[in-house]
A and B are shown apart, each in its own frame.
Chain A
Amino acid sequence: MKKLMRTAAVAAAVTLALAACGSGGGNPAANVSPTGEIKPRQISWLLSRPADGAVINIMKKVADEYAQTHPGFSLNLITTPDRPSYIQKYETLAAANKLPELFDTDATPFAQQLAKKGTMVDAEKLLKDLGVYDTYRTNALNYQRFDDGSLYMIPFQFELEYFWYNKALFQQAGVSVPKSLDDIPAMCTALRKAGITPLALDGQDQWPLERYVSYQPFRDAGPDFVQKLKKGDAKFSDATGQRTVNWISQLGGASCFQDGFSSQGYSDAQNLFTSGKAAMYNIGTWELPSLATDKLNPAVRSDVDYFTLPATPTSATAANEYVATSGIGMAVNSSTFDPLVKDFLKFALAKYPSEYAATGALSPTTNVQTTIPANATPLYKKAIDQAQDLGTKLAMPWDTQLDPTTNSRLQQELVLLAQGNVKPAEFTSTMDSTIAQNAPKFFK
């Protein structure tokens, strides 16, 4: 019997994680000027960023500098780079009211509920109070905002997403850069005929395919479509929704993605493109070191170029408006916000941009210039300079917009649609009913 009862181990994991639950509370989020003296101690940042990435390395360095003038201070960085694992950890800690001083989150419906409960410090007021608000790129801050325009997360990066392509493979298949999204299925057919994989896709992580479903609505109806869709005010059965559903189905029908894409990961997709087997790869500027430096396979190095999300004159959004994200943001826990946390943030946010830009990345602020690495190809500078000509409307990744249940279902159903396992009509019906069932819980 003892063995049998152990079968509830997974159930126990859920309940034990929730054992310390409480409705929680916290200081008013609006208070960005805590009083009292600065008492150095260890503060923690629960984050989801690469362990050896620029953000962590710079923040470690900055924290060490701060500790020199504030003996007893240290910054404990607890990173979980794998995003789904991180979200589980963060949401469980939020449920238990055990979030540390600083924690990463996207502007998701769950985060908005936390903000409404007063768990997070108002980032707009905090940045203004620290005197750095105006230095941030408007797009970088807008990416972090909730639907109501409120800002509770501070960005640490700024990335633009492009379609990287291999000019030699395009030439071999007799295709050129697409003028509209609708050109892509025909391009895929031509590339396949030439024995080339059209698009390299990391299907395992699911968000890359979800980007594709957002493109047609962004060009067709602008950024508002997803805002309406997530609340059930717009549907996949609407004209715009049908356009994207049919387009994904066409991409699948034209074998645009590599065979078995759904079980292939991030590095598989990247290798496919950098080894010269795939003609296109949709990824952000965070991959510039791999795509536009001498680290790139010499066989394809001079053939790589990029184009931005295709737009037509009738598109609702301009050609210089596409996916531009400032990554996962950092929230400040209002219940542990004190003079020390504020003082450290003031110190760190002043130092961070120049250090970050020196690594060759785009800073979320406009007061520094990115240093182009010595081993960069000319494409590096071109991709970085593109940020200066960015429009004001952003194509928001849908995984940060939809309620979590709808998002999971969409990610699953998209794979089936792209693989041809479900028909567009079935997909539409499933997704519209999923949204109708789940959206009201998050967007009352």
Chain B
Amino acid sequence: MLPNRSRLSVLVFLLPPLLLYGVAVLFPILQSLFLSFFSWNGISDMEFVGFANYVRMLTGDSVFWHSFINALGYLSICLVLQLGGALFVASLLTSLRRGAGIIKTLYLLPAVISTVAIAFLFVRIYSIDPVGLLNQVLGWIGLGGLERPWLSDVNTVLTAVSAPEGWRFTGLYMLIIYAALLAVPQELEEAARLDGANQWQLFTKIRFPYIRPVWITTTIMATTYGLRGFDIPYLMTNGGPGQSSELLTTYMYKTAFTSTDFGYASTISVFIVIECLVAVGLILLMLKRKADA
């Protein structure tokens, strides 16, 4: 129990950031919720439409559902690359005796490059005319038949815009997981080895359970970042061709700032907030169940 003076000090220090958080985060969410019940283009009078925007979004807007499915695909690819890749590289790094520092730096490098530079870099990599790196490599290894304009093909564009985002943050998550893996007590691993555990058992029975709290945090971070993905797809394809790489975030942005339909854009943003909360809730639930099992 804190003495009164200390409690006051805590309040004095906590209140300003709490207020800032309320103004910068909670207030806009509540304002979006409010705006989602209106039809408003920014200069017209605001017209109360009740749940009409929600009905339109859920039942009458094919682009919204297309974007939602794309967003899930984008998230899946990002998670596989970021978490799967990070865990794989981090596990390999723990067995390295030399050069781990250089490899860590190399993997982390994309995380510090500007988004715009990454987007332009990958537009060139995927290009067919002039031939980009990917198509060139395919040609060199005898897979010329697979050469294509990756960003113009409706079947490949979503993967093509997801890969840079996944690649970009793999190093960051690798670093977090690597730090967690280093913290696994050596005596536990040695004991398991003495008991005859192989590498896979060592990983699944000792290492992974030990890093589970860090894994949960990393998964939540990667998922929320993935669901909020915007910049790279927007810069590389602007959601196209058609709606093939349109995500909920890019669609919301266009609805607000191109179509000037601020009410409907707010409805989509409310959906994004709910979607993120549901996703994180599900992750916590699944990982908690596994931990309890």
Contacts and interface: CB of A to CB of B under 8 A. Distances in A.
Interface stretch (B68-76, B98-106, B255-263): B255-263
A195 interface: no
Interface in B5-56: 21, 24-26, 28-29, 31-32, 35, 41-45
B280 interface: yes
B88 to A, nearest CB: 25
> How many B residues are at the interface, by size bracket?
35 or more
Interface string A202-246: 011010000000000000000000000000000000000000000
A421 B262 contact: no
Contacts of B151: 260, 262-263
The B interface is mostly helix, strand or loop, or mixed, namely helix
Contacts of A10: 228, 230, 249, 252-253, 269, 272
Contacts of A441: 41
Interface stretch (A15-23, A165-173, A363-371): A15-23
B178 to A, nearest CB: 21
Interface stretch (B183-191, B206-214, B237-245): B237-245
Nearest to B24: A12
A11 B123 contact: no
A312 B215 CA distance: 69
Interface stretch (A121-129, A348-356, A390-398, A407-415): A407-415
B162 interface: no
Interface stretch (B107-115, B164-172, B219-227): B219-227
A4 B257 contact: no
A93 to B, nearest CB: 10
Contact of B43 (A7, A24, A262, A415): A24
Interface in A1-58: 2-12, 14-16, 18-19, 21, 23-24
Given A94-B43, A259-B128, A421-B154, A15 B32 contact: yes
B228 A15 contact: no
A253 interface: no
The A interface is mostly helix, strand or loop, or mixed, namely helix
A405 B129 contact: no
A52 to B, nearest CB: 20
A264 B43 CA distance: 35
A404 interface: yes
B43 to A, nearest CB: 6
Given A88-B258, A262-B151, A3 B220 contact: yes
A91 interface: yes
24 contacts: A3-B224, A4-B224, A6-B25, A8-B32, A8-B269, A8-B272, A11-B270, A12-B29, A15-B35, A21-B42, A87-B258, A91-B260, A95-B262, A110-B260, A117-B43, A262-B151, A263-B241, A404-B259, A408-B254, A408-B259, A412-B240, A415-B242, A416-B242, A438-B259
Interface of B: 21, 24-26, 28-29, 31-32, 35, 41-45, 63, 123, 126-129, 148-149, 151-152, 154, 220-221, 224, 227-228, 230, 236-243, 249, 252-262, 265-266, 269-270, 272-273, 276-277, 280
Interface of A: 2-12, 14-16, 18-19, 21, 23-24, 84, 87-88, 91-92, 94-95, 110, 113-114, 117, 119, 197, 203-204, 206, 258-264, 272, 404-405, 408-409, 412-413, 415-416, 419, 421-422, 438, 441
Given A4-B220, A263-B240, 16 more contacts: A5-B21, A5-B29, A7-B276, A8-B28, A8-B32, A11-B266, A12-B24, A84-B258, A94-B42, A259-B128, A259-B152, A262-B149, A272-B129, A416-B241, A416-B242, A419-B241
